[in-house]
Every structure is written in structure tokens, then in C-alpha cells.
Amino acid sequence: MFNVFSEFQPLTYVAVGNINNNSELLSNLNVVGNAHKKDLEILFNQTREDFNIIKQALTYAGVTIEESNTYNIGHTPAQSLPIAIRDWFFIYGEDVIIPHQHFPWHQMRSRSLDHVFDQSKKVTRWFGEVSSEISKVNSVFYDGANFLRCGKHIFHSAKVSSFGCEHGLNVIKSHILERRPDTSFIPVDTNDHLDGALFLVRPGLLITSLKNLPDCFDSWDKIFVEYDSHKFTKQHEDLRYAKYHPMLVKQWHWYQQTNPQETAFSLNALSIDENTVMFPGYDKEVFTQLAKHNVECINLNLKTCYFWDNGLHCFTNELHRRGDIENYF
């Protein structure tokens, strides 16, 4: 049922985030006052439109879709919505790995695809949440967005941060190596989600905002995206405040005050196959460079990425790509 060995083999089956059932969400969320619920409703509608665009584009490409289930999240912060579906599970081969979640209110997110995963005996789930700095140390906490698959090689964020802990990484490594002992894990010099800094278009071609890459990429063609995290954070916040009511941004995104804005949206994309890539927005330089490599770029023109700090790769997570494990190095 599940089969994913790379970021670029032909995509046949994918999970997509969800923000349906707006009325229930609006009635239960208390993170914004009544005066700003209209702003919140507009945001939800825009986000739902974005997800409809994603689903329509994937369906047109012949990809089967599974949506995450929304649920009654009660009086909890925004991150509990099952939107950034990339973060909370990771598939390698046919094995589904669902690590611990960062906050107690994240826990429900990891159950939003039970209608898919409960059919498989290949699911390994660590229950519970990471609710303190102490529990981080001994928990299996490591976001799925920290990994990129490339056949027998799995790349991962080198430094632990608010997106994972060393123990979590080591447990997941051991879990995979027990099943596939010839797998190589290669650290990449970032402490953020790796999919916000590196995109593997196909064997021999990548897009990145990083200056220091593993030596195994030396022979690959590279498209560099200029990305200054401090400058981008300021631009990111300015754009949010220009587009959305300041109180909505402040109260809804209180957690953004401590987490970096780590996503370069020009590379937070989704491959349909080695010659076709969907992007959340248009980047002239990236699209021009990819055209020289005969890669078709599909611009979905999503509207709410900057608010959620999530791109197309974040909003989706592959369940099946056609093809077997290969060695690309």
C-alpha cells in the first residue's frame, strides 16, 4: 500500500492537509477575540481554496489523494490543525513512522490519517507528546520534514532544534536500519526543517538555499536560492501584518515569536516525477533554470503560505511513489 524511496520517483498516492469544517473551528477556537473572527473566517476560506487548488492539480496529474481528517480541536492553538501534514509522519519504503509530537495539542494531528494508516501493519507510532525540555531528551521526537529520501540515502537536518531531538533521530535511524541495514544517513548543515532548504528535483539536480552541502552532491547541478533567514523573517512578518489584521497575527501566531521562519518557498515544492514539479508560487529564476533542464514547472499560486509558514511540500506527504530502492551516488 505504501512505497516511498525518493522525493522524485513517479507520484501515485499522496496525503494532503485539510482545513474543512470552518464553522466548528470558529466556534471552538478562542485564540482570537470575537472582533477578529471575521478575519479568521476569511483566512480559513483562503486556506481552503488553496487546498482545493492542490487537490485539483494533483487529481489532474493522475495522483490519488487522501485528506487528513479535521476534528474538534477545542480551545487549543493554531498548530493543532492538520495542515502541515509533512511534519508528523515519514514513510521509507513501506514503513510508516509517526514520531512523538512537540506539544500536547499536536497529538490529535497524528491521528488525522488513522483512516489510512490503521489498514497497515507497517505503521510504527510513538504515542504521547513532548511537553517539556526534559522530555525532549528521551522522546522519539523528530519531525518528518527533517528528512529527504534519495534511494539508499536519507538526508536529515544535522542540528537538533525545536523540530526534533538527537534521541528521536537515533531511534528512527535504528528502526530503519533494522529493516534496511544498507541505508546511509547523511546530515545536512541546517537546524531547520530540511525541506525548507533543500529540494531534490531528480538524480543529479537540486535546488537549495544552503552554502554547505554534503560532498556526495559535488557532481550534481545546483540551483541556488538566495535566502537570508533574518531578512526573510522581517519580510515574512511585514507581509503577514500587511495582509492580515495585526491582532490576528499576534494572537494566532504567538509561537512564531520563538520559531524561525525556516522555509524558502521557492524550493518547498512537490515532484510529480523527475520532469514535472509543482510549486506553491512563481520564482522566475528557479523556473528559468529548471526549464533549461527540461523540467516542467507548475505554479499553483497559493495564497496563504506566508501566513502558515508552510509551502506545498509541507502541505502534502507522499504515500506511494512508483519504483524500487536505488543507489543514486
Residue 61 is predicted with a pLDDT of: 98
- Taking all residues of the chain, what is their mean pLDDT, rounded to a whole number? 81
pLDDT band at 259 (very low <50, low <70, confident <90, very high): very low
pLDDT-above-90 percentage for the chain: 48
> What is the C-alpha separation between 220 and 204, in angstroms, rounded?
4
Residue 74, by phi and psi: left (phi above 0), alpha (psi -120 to 50) or beta?
Answer: left
pLDDT surpasses 80 at 109: no
Using the 8-state DSSP alphabet, how is residue 4 labeled? Answer: B
* Domain-located, residue 62: yes
Maximum Cα interatomic distance, the chain, rounded to a whole number of Å:
57
pLDDT band at 75 (very low <50, low <70, confident <90, very high): very low
> What is the C-alpha separation between 238 and 235, in angstroms, rounded?
5
Reduced to 3 states, what is the DSSP secondary structure of residue 188? Answer: strand
Residue 94 is predicted with a pLDDT of: 94
Domain that holds residue 312: 11-321
pLDDT band at 59 (very low <50, low <70, confident <90, very high): very high
The model carries a pTM of: 0.87
pLDDT surpasses 90 at 172: yes
* Domain-located, residue 123: yes
* Domain-located, residue 326: no
Supply the CATH number for residue 198's domain: 3.75.10.10
* Domain-located, residue 327: no
Report how many domains make up the chain: 1
* Domain-located, residue 249: yes
pLDDT surpasses 90 at 62: yes
- Residue 119 backbone phi and psi in degrees, to 5: -85, -10
**Least confident window among 136-150, 164-178, 194-208, 254-268:** 254-268
> What is the C-alpha separation between 110 and 201, in angstroms, rounded?
28
- Residue with the bigger pLDDT between 124 and 274: it is 274
Residues 6+ apart with CB under 8 A from 187: 155, 156, 157, 158, 214
**Least confident window among 20-29, 170-179, 192-201:** 20-29
* Domain-located, residue 148: yes
Residues 6+ apart with CB under 8 A from 114: 69
* Domain-located, residue 329: no
Q: Per residue in 278-295, pLDDT tens?
A: 999 888 899 999 999 999
pLDDT surpasses 60 at 24: no
Q: Per residue in 149-165, pLDDT tens?
A: 999 999 999 977 768 88
Query: Averaged over 56-69, what is the pLDDT?
Result: 95
pLDDT surpasses 60 at 245: no
Residue 146 is predicted with a pLDDT of: 94
Residue 72 is predicted with a pLDDT of: 55
For the chain, the first-to-last Cα distance in angstroms comes to: 27
Q: CA dist 326 to 122, 139, 221, Å?
A: 21, 31, 19
Query: Averaged over 43-60, what is the pLDDT?
Result: 92
Query: Averaged over 243-267, what is the pLDDT?
Result: 50
- Residue with the bigger pLDDT between 314 and 254: it is 314
* Domain-located, residue 18: yes
pLDDT band at 43 (very low <50, low <70, confident <90, very high): confident
